[in-house]
Copies of this chain bind each other. A is one copy, B any other.
Amino acid sequence: MGDLEQVLDTLAGRQQASVEDLLAFAAIPSVSAQAQHAPDIQRAADWLAARLRQAGLETVEQWPTGGHPAVYAEWLGAPGAPTILVYGHYDVQPPDPEDRWRTPPFTPTVQGERVYGRGVSDDKGPLLIAVQVADAYLHTLGRLPLNVKFLFEGEEEVGSAHLPALVTERRERLAADFVLSADGGMWSAETPSLTVSARGLAALEFTVRGPAKDLHSGRHGGSLQNPLHALADLVAGLHTPDGRVAVDGFYDGVTERTAEEREATRQLPFTDEGYLAQTGAPEVYGETGYSTLERQWDRPTLELNGLWGGYTGEGSKTVLPSEAHAKVTCRLVPGQDPARIPGLIEAHLRRHLPPGVTLDVQPSDHGARAYQLPTGHPGRRVAREVLEAVYGRPPLEVGMGGSIPVLETFSEVLGVDTVFFSFAVGDEDIHAPNEFFRLPRIQEGQQAWARYWMTLAELRGATASREARAYD
């Protein structure tokens, strides 16, 4: 039995233990957005560091940041072999709205071939796969086939604000041929896919203020601007009737894809009917002139994520509220600068501010450029080969509507590309109630990661991957 086969055998024998790993990890409510969960974030970091040590990694560290700590580990016993940096995050989204969960968000619950719980798909399940594969190699063969560094952060869900400084500070420790990301996701459970692009991100919040205090809407209604009306006017004015973003300068630098690229997207096995069945939306809607996949992968957006003001409880309260609020995120494509977008939106809001209210804009440091993995990158070629070996057919190459802000950091600070290699699936309700992860994906992911490391180590000229950028 070859080395790889022994490792795969070890992994196959550990499926129950692998699921139990995830149940324990996902039971920790490591919600990075909410201050009350700071102790849980620390518990999750401690748990993960202990799990890495248990895997046989001798160098395991927690790296403080200006926010939540990162967990780092390394195994560098293969001189001359490639070095990869495995990325993932141990923080999770808030569970809101909690009353829509059928099982408690932080009591991970197995039902059939799925486990339900906040973070099981994004990103605790996929992250653990990489750790479990290292564990299997080290306990079966006593070594890994290549050099591996693990960097798991605790702030991905709040925009990885402190990671650029950390990666800059630790750039020598983090040096690698490329990043293999355990975050991301495949687009369907049936067809293997490889994500080769991600949209960027820019964010802001704004508040509209009218009277200094809440007023009685009977007594005062009609004689003062209602901040809720002003907010609605502003939000309505952010898009044109054809679904484009109305903000001046928003599309600066955005280029159209080539006819071949658009045709390749059209050839993917995707239908609007299937998409509507999956999401339960009554119809597709978006920028005129683009297909649904183009709207998701290739076109920038401006989306409201939250809107609130006045009385939102049971029954009626006749209030003319003092203020109203909105949270906005934009998804960006190559050519757009995330640092410039919030200012453009603020200028638009100020230019269109209705009378009788004032505007307060809070830009976010939450930002990321869009990303594109070069076509000839060796990490991309190995990924195609491994996915074909595990699933019996070559993967589709797809885009990603979401953003992973650290891609830009890895590219700019470490000078390396990132290969997405997550076994989450896009329909697993991440960021929503009843998030789930498919249990069979644990074993598939472990096989794929084990093969990936071995294949990359064996690849003649793998060390040339530092020049990967020149391939495309």
Residues of A within 8 A of B (CB): 32-35, 93-94, 96-97, 100, 157-159, 199, 201, 203, 210-226, 228-229, 231-239, 275, 279-287, 292-293, 295-296, 299-301, 303-321, 324-325, 327, 329, 331, 354-358, 364, 366, 400-403, 426, 429-434
Contact = CB atoms under 8 A, between A and B. Distances in A.
Nearest to A31: B315
A306 B312 contact: yes
B281 A212 contact: yes
B295 A222 contact: yes
A444 B225 CA distance: 35
B285 A96 contact: no
A433 B284 contact: no
Contact of A432 (B215, B237, B295, B354): B215
Contact of A280 (B212, B275, B299, B325): B212
B305 A217 contact: yes
A308 B312 contact: yes
A366 to B, nearest CB: 6
A213 B431 CA distance: 11
B310 A231 contact: no
User: Which of A157, A215, A285 is the most central at the interface, judged by chain B CB atoms within 10 Å of its CB?
Assistant: A285
B307 A309 contact: yes
User: Which of A32, A96, A157 is the most central at the interface, judged by chain B CB atoms within 10 Å of its CB?
Assistant: A96
Contacts of A275: 223
B319 A305 contact: yes
A226 B317 contact: no
A355 B305 contact: no
Contacts of A237: 236
Contacts of A307: 228, 231-232, 307-310, 312, 324
Contact of A34 (B32, B159, B310, B313): B313
User: Which of A307, A400, A401 is the most central at the interface, judged by chain B CB atoms within 10 Å of its CB?
Assistant: A307
Contacts of A213: 100, 279-280, 429, 432-434
B431 A318 contact: yes
A218 to B, nearest CB: 3
B210 A313 contact: no
21 contacts: A96-B313, A97-B214, A158-B316, A213-B434, A214-B431, A218-B401, A218-B402, A222-B295, A222-B301, A225-B285, A229-B235, A231-B232, A232-B233, A283-B356, A284-B356, A305-B319, A307-B309, A308-B308, A311-B327, A318-B329, A319-B432
Contacts of A159: 316
A306 B309 contact: yes
B403 A224 contact: no
Given A281-B211, A305-B319, A402 B314 contact: no
**A-B pairs with the 8 shortest C-beta distances?**
A212-B280, A218-B402, A33-B315, A285-B356, A232-B235, A222-B301, A236-B236, A306-B310
Contacts of A231: 232, 307
B301 A311 contact: no
A324 to B, nearest CB: 7
A226 B303 contact: yes
A431 B304 contact: no
Contact of A96 (B33, B311, B426): B311
Contact of A283 (B96, B306, B355, B430): B355
User: Which of A312, A316, A431 is the most central at the interface, judged by chain B CB atoms within 10 Å of its CB?
Assistant: A316
Given A212-B280, A231-B232, A308-B308, A401 B432 contact: no
Contact of A329 (B217, B283, B309, B321): B217
